[in-house]
Structure 1
Amino acid sequence: MKLKLDVTPDLATMMAAEIAAGERAVTAAIREAGTGLRADWRRQITGAGLGQRLSRTIRSAQYPKGQPSLNAAALVWSKAPDIISAHDTGPLIRSKSGFWLAIPLPAAGRGRGGARLTPGEWERRRGLRLRFVYRRRGPSLLVADRARINTRGTAVASRAKTGRNQVTAPIFLLVPQVKLSKRLDLDRDAERAHDSVPRLILAKWAEGRS
């Protein structure tokens, strides 16, 4: 005795429809989870006082592009990964040369586009030499002698020959290392987004049936 089982055309159509509905549900759920995570990370960054510019480095993309799939995936990343990672992990920062880290003080001013200046750049731009001042207690200093503080609070070269209004201005603090404070918790939002996927898939599947 032989028994042959075939899938009827109506059943095959129903199965194909269910698969298509599943693909749409999974794709829509992954898209919502990915864009939601992007929004959460951006809110974290601005909420930590790191600015809109850094928050806009958070991007998201979905794969495969332009078609539903049961294997849909979302990728959320930053275009400034080193900066984001530093604020997310709170690393200990040391000088690459093994000596000092130079931290600019307000009198140092800024370079083009608001960039922080290194001691060498500062000397070239201001036309003043920096002098090392060792302190047994507290950070050592790089100071500029015979400087003048302008209206913006920046130390510049003084042209006064009499020494009037000339000061010795602290320009950089020198420290062996700096512990950057942890200001972000990106894993928290990522885990929340991951855990939301099954619920979103069910919700999207129900939406497709209504």
Structure 2
Amino acid sequence: MTKVLVLYYSSYGHIEQMAQAVAEGAREGGAEVDIRRVAETAPKNIVEAAHFKTDSAHPVIEGPDALANYDAIVVGAPTRYGRMPSQMAAFLDTTGGLWMRGALNGKVGGAFTSTASQHGGQETTLFSLITNLMHLGLTIVGLDYGFQAQMGVDEVRGGSPYGATTIAGGDGSRQPHEEELAGARYQGKRIAQTAAKLAG
């Protein structure tokens, strides 16, 4: 059975919800799925002052070598000034040994994100994640336009051909919309199916 890792960092729970949806889609696509998060690296006083969500049902990833155990890796993180946050970057910066060994070459990857606004850097953040995955040798699967719910301008909605997205609002009060979660499930399923085909 194809093994998929959904690896995320979430400050306020939006990306955690999207990660769960990606995992649901990957399971629907026939994969065995693990959800892991990267460690919080912000100082405790910052975490408390900003009211970060500190409880999670998902364990912290054991270390970079764990990535080699999967056929597909889907990475999710919110934006920080149009790029991935330092917490995810700190973890990805530890994967040099995997890169040197070519341990992830030929695996499948994807990314998902959250921003405060519709124009808050969703696609640049996705690319900051995807670039790392491509350097590590992964074949990228985005959110193709088979998922038609990402189209239209009748309401606020996330979605990008480069990966599933959600919009949190400036104060974080907007939770992922059902169409955004459906996009995450769609991408997760596509990634699992693609990994199964490449493994076959």
Instruction: Mark yes or no: TM-score above 0.5.
Output: no
* TM-score calculated relative to the size of structure 1: 0.25
Q: Which has the larger radius of gyration?
A: 1
Q: Which structure carries more strand by proportion?
A: 1
* TM-score calculated relative to the size of structure 2: 0.26
